[in-house]
Amino acid sequence: MYIESMYQQLGVSPEVTRFGQDILESLKDRFAQIDAVAEYNQGKVIAAMQKNRVNATHFAATTGYGYDDEGRDNLERVYADCFHTEAALVRPQITCGTHALTVALSANLRPGDELLSPVGRPYDTLEEVIGIRPSPCSLMEYGVTYNEVDLLPDGTFDYEGIRKAIHEKTKLVTIQRSKGYATRPSFSVQEIGELIAFCKQCKSDIICMVDNCYGEFVEIQEPSDVGADMIVGSLIKNPGGGLAPIGGYICGTKECVSRCAFRLSAPGLGQEVGANLGLMPAFYQGLFLSPTVVSGALKGAIFAAACYEKLGFRVIPPAAEERHDIIQAVELGSREGMVAFCKGIQSAAPVDSYVTPEPWPMPGYDSDVIMAAGAFVQGSSIELSADGPIREPYAVYFQGGLTWYHAKLGILMSLQKMRDAGLIQL
């Protein structure tokens, strides 16, 4: 068979290829559901672009101050319409998802306010932003206090604990949609909406912000459709479609987004400044492609879950479970398993396939981290990648794939490296 022959040239044995093909036979209905969601979201993006009359003049580059940058301003109108919000801030000057979250938090919290996470400890890189781990310029240094309410043992919200934690100084609630480096479930848009409604019932003027990273276009709704005052993310994840080389977005109420713009640039300047530096074609086209790219990443995640579940590993979420983000966690049980898995992902890459990933003390994390990412855009986790902290339960987090076929190859190569290391038997 010619496909089996091609995989063999790429380093995948016929046994591993056939194992993968057997798994795929059981996933046809799931893949059809993913395609239907992608088709809906593609229409949503096109409708937002058509409403805002996107044309070739919006692709022109600007430099310097970026005054009167109609392409940039129109892109923000497209994002606002796509995510059904009053306003949006979409800029290449936002360097990453953590930066976007920092802008949103620092713009809307003042000294004496309290930040609450009702979903347990946030993603590792936010610990220094908040001041959980001391860092210069953290929110805690500027007089913002922090509280968190752990999830219940079954991974659901502790509503009674949340009610007790909200008081007169609680200004902003941060909700992380995806699991991050945790083995809890990711939250559905419906669950997030119920949590937001509860928090606003406890305190009507509370601001609810959702870290939307890895979740855009996975469902037909976004957290902004169910009451979020801000949704925040990175353009080198889902909404950039693999084309955006940098950037982040904040969509939400006019008041919240306006404050974010003043914090990103300077008081008095706000959204008036910030040149697009010639990135508009990539930003517009990346958003256009995003629903299709996300669908391929979702298929890869489900395929990974099904393969490793079949081999007896714990996977979060299970293969049959409904998806709420593109991340697939696999508990491999050992450092050796994590290294072998990541070697497989790296060896499937179009870029740096010859590199051997090794754990290292990555800035912003309290454990050594291993990362496999042969990406066209450095750090782009909508491209095929896998990573995780070297600590129990030794879980690796797989995500991305600009095409389903690349995601499939990555998982087959991970199986091959695990088999070669004597860690699995097919």
71-to-75, 243, 247, 277 alpha-carbon distances in Å: 6, 17, 15, 11
Query: What confidence category does residue 203 fall into, taking pLDDT thresholds of 50, 70 and 90?
Result: very high
Query: What confidence category does residue 185 fall into, taking pLDDT thresholds of 50, 70 and 90?
Result: confident
pLDDT > 70? residue 414: yes
pLDDT, residue 423, reads: 96
**pLDDT tens track for 127-146:** 999 999 999 999 999 999 99
The model's pTM is 0.95
Report the CATH number that the domain containing residue 65 is assigned in CATH.
Answer: 3.40.640.10
* Least confident window among 276-290, 315-329, 335-349, 357-371: 357-371
- Same domain? For 181 and 141 the reply is yes
**pLDDT tens track for 167-178:** 999 999 999 999
Query: What confidence category does residue 48 fall into, taking pLDDT thresholds of 50, 70 and 90?
Result: very high
* pLDDT mean over 38-52: 98
**pLDDT tens track for 241-259:** 999 999 999 999 999 999 9
Burial class from Cβ neighbours inside 10 Å (0-12, 13-18, 19+) for residue 401 reads buried
Task: For residue 272, give the DSSP letter.
Answer: G
Cβ(389)–Cβ(365) under 8 Å? yes
pLDDT > 80? residue 303: yes
pLDDT, residue 364, reads: 67
Which domain-ending residue is among 279, 314, 349?
279
Print the domain residue range for 175.
Answer: 60-279
Domain count along the chain: 2
Cβ(104)–Cβ(232) under 8 Å? yes
* pLDDT mean over 294-315: 98
In whole numbers, what is the pLDDT of the chain averaged over residues? 96
> What sign for the dihedral angle of Cα 61, 66, 71, 72?
positive
Domain presence at residue 54: no
- Same domain? For 231 and 186 the reply is yes
Q: How does strand 248-252 pair with strand 369-372?
A: unpaired
Chain centre distance of CA 294: 11
Domain presence at residue 52: no
Domain presence at residue 47: no
Q: Where is pLDDT greater, at 410 or 364?
A: 410
Report the CATH number that the domain containing residue 389 is assigned in CATH.
Answer: 3.90.1150.60
- Same domain? For 275 and 381 the reply is no
- Same domain? For 30 and 65 the reply is no
- Same domain? For 267 and 385 the reply is no
* pLDDT mean over 326-337: 95
Domain presence at residue 9: yes
pLDDT > 90? residue 184: no
- Same domain? For 253 and 313 the reply is no
